[in-house]
Amino acid sequence: MGRNILLITTDQMRFDALGCNGGEIARTPVIDGLAETGINYTRAHNQNVVCMPARATIVTGQHVASHGVWMNGVSLPEDQPTIAHWLQDHGYKTALLGKAHFEPWLGNPAEFFENRMAKEGSTGPHRGFDHMELANHFFEGHSHYDRWMSAEHAKEKAKFYPMVTDRGQNTIGTGATNAPQVWPMDVPREIYHTDWVADRTIAWLDSLERNDDWFCWMSFPDPHHPWDVPASELGRVDWRDVPLPKLYRETDAERRELLADKPKHWLGYYEGSLWTNLESPREFVPANMTNDQVREINALTHIENELIDEACGRVIDWLESAGKLDETDIFFTTDHGEFQGDFGLLFKGPYHVDALMRLPFIWRPAGGIAATSIDATVGHLDLAPTFCRVAGIETPEYVEGHVLPTTGAAAADREVVLTEWDSEHGPVDMHLKSIYRRDGWLLTTYEKSSVYDGTEGELYNLNEDPDQLVNRWEDATSIRSELVDQLSATLPAARAPRLERRAPV
């Protein structure tokens, strides 16, 4: 009998969302408790800053270049081996409850099994998971949660943020400040998708035999926008009391000055003159956000994080009452972060900064250990081999990550972590590659595209400049050349032929 594995992920959660990582607003005692009895990796990076590529890395243990899911809308091939397959082959029961997003959720159900499995009454198996029950941020007609809401709570379902595609509608909001996608709603908390994911997780765990070994991925759709929390929860955080982010400036002139040292698509996004990615609504102009709108968006984000923490607590309490907590390794992370006002921006996109790239990343080994904090360069691709170590099995050959270090000494050979971005939206394409090195240097190259000629980039010394305010690309040329060479030598070759983008997102 091996150790059980519970992987908990959120969608679009910042590193500093949690109390254990310096967060001062959202109360997250359950997740903080995992860090207090486990290992908190304080310099974990994703291998891509949007959903589908990041999630493909988690499930394969590969860099984006290798698994080939180069942007949202590109489906992970169904014949791609996953760590769920591998654990399944070694006797583990496997499940994914919540958001999967290995296939485009705006894709045609005839093409993508994830988008038709609920309608067909299927819960798997799929992609190595014996059991899948899916949920998403919007009601697109595909997920198990969507169909459950239609069948059981149709009146409440109509109150959720509308799934809209027309230009001009994706920035609507009904909050106190009319902030985009802020949408408090008169819906009971117990039917909100956060609690539904926890309910379905507990139900699956309760269906297992006592001696079954299992791998369970509990995947919350929040705190990803839209910020449509149950109105009953608004009293948790008063938006009027929420401080503006450290990297937000109160005047337009100050925000423009903050962006002046960065490549041009930063300011282009801010002022609405250059739209580079679907990860923000085309019609959204960050420069038009008011200070109070930033406060309200952040308040609802904190509320969503508190609800996630409490849902995690319910599952962990169930494990303890079932006598399974001491034989279960628990991992907590997210796919990517969110600007939340940093640099005057919102949402995400081709910007390799801590707001989007640095992850909450916690491993609580079965039974717990003395609290340990490790600043090693680790990432999503290290989860798969660590699951194998927990299960006591070999790591499959296709995995490119390494077992997570459990001590500072074990982290000594962890030199770099890589993050990639590629996108094509109409006539605009973008290609970024980043390397973060354990000595604190972060380099991002901008490859030739419709926006850049291939000579531009960003370079920061995070030991001296943790907020990434001073771009050293032009003056620190020696270290720049060294890091460019190291990035080139470390990044795997891109998968060929390139996978087709088959849907918007």
pLDDT of residue 46: 98
Residue 253: burial class (beta carbons within 10 Å; 0-12, 13-18, 19+): exposed
Q: DSSP secondary-structure letter at 200?
A: H
CATH class of residue range 4-249+289-414: alpha beta
- Structure tokens, 300: 């609802």
Q: In this predicted model, what pLDDT tens digit does every residue of 153-162 receive, in sequence order?
A: 999 999 999 8
Q: Which residues contact 56 (CB under 8 A, 6 or more apart)?
A: 62, 64, 67, 69, 76, 102
pLDDT of residue 167: 57
Give CA 152 to chain center in angstroms.
Answer: 30
- Structure tokens, 120: 């067909």
Tens of pLDDT along the chain (505 residues) come to 679 999 999 999 999 999 999 999 999 999 999 999 999 999 999 999 999 999 999 999 999 999 999 999 999 999 999 999 999 999 999 999 999 999 998 899 999 999 999 999 999 999 999 999 999 998 988 999 999 999 999 999 999 998 766 555 788 999 999 999 999 999 999 999 999 999 999 999 999 999 999 999 999 999 999 999 999 999 999 999 999 999 999 999 999 999 999 999 999 999 999 999 888 888 899 999 999 999 999 999 999 999 999 999 999 999 999 999 999 999 999 999 999 999 999 999 999 999 999 999 999 999 999 999 999 999 999 999 999 999 999 999 999 999 999 998 888 889 999 999 999 998 999 999 999 999 999 999 999 999 999 999 999 999 999 999 999 999 999 999 999 999 999 999 999 999 999 998 8
Please check whether residue 11 is in contact with residue 334, taking contact to mean a CB–CB distance below 8 angstroms.
yes
Q: Which residues contact 194 (CB under 8 A, 6 or more apart)?
A: 220, 221, 222, 304, 307, 308, 311
**Cα separation values, 333 from 154, 217, 242, 280, Å:** 32, 11, 24, 23
Residue 108: burial class (beta carbons within 10 Å; 0-12, 13-18, 19+): exposed
pTM for the full predicted model: 0.98
Q: In this predicted model, what pLDDT tens digit does every residue of 224-240 receive, in sequence order?
A: 999 999 999 999 999 99
Q: Which residues contact 199 (CB under 8 A, 6 or more apart)?
A: none
pLDDT of residue 409: 86
pLDDT of residue 140: 87
pLDDT of residue 165: 60
Nearest to 180, CA basis, from 226, 134, 248, 130: 226
Please check whether residue 103 is in contact with residue 126, taking contact to mean a CB–CB distance below 8 angstroms.
no
Q: DSSP secondary-structure letter at 141?
A: S
Q: How many CB atoms lie within 10 A of CB 247?
A: 20
- Structure tokens, 343: 């640099």
Q: How far is the C-alpha of 401 from the C-alpha of 49, rounded, in Å?
A: 18
Does the N-terminal peptide bond of residue 184 adopt cis geometry, omega within 30 degrees of 0? no
Nearest to 454, CA basis, from 433, 440, 438: 433
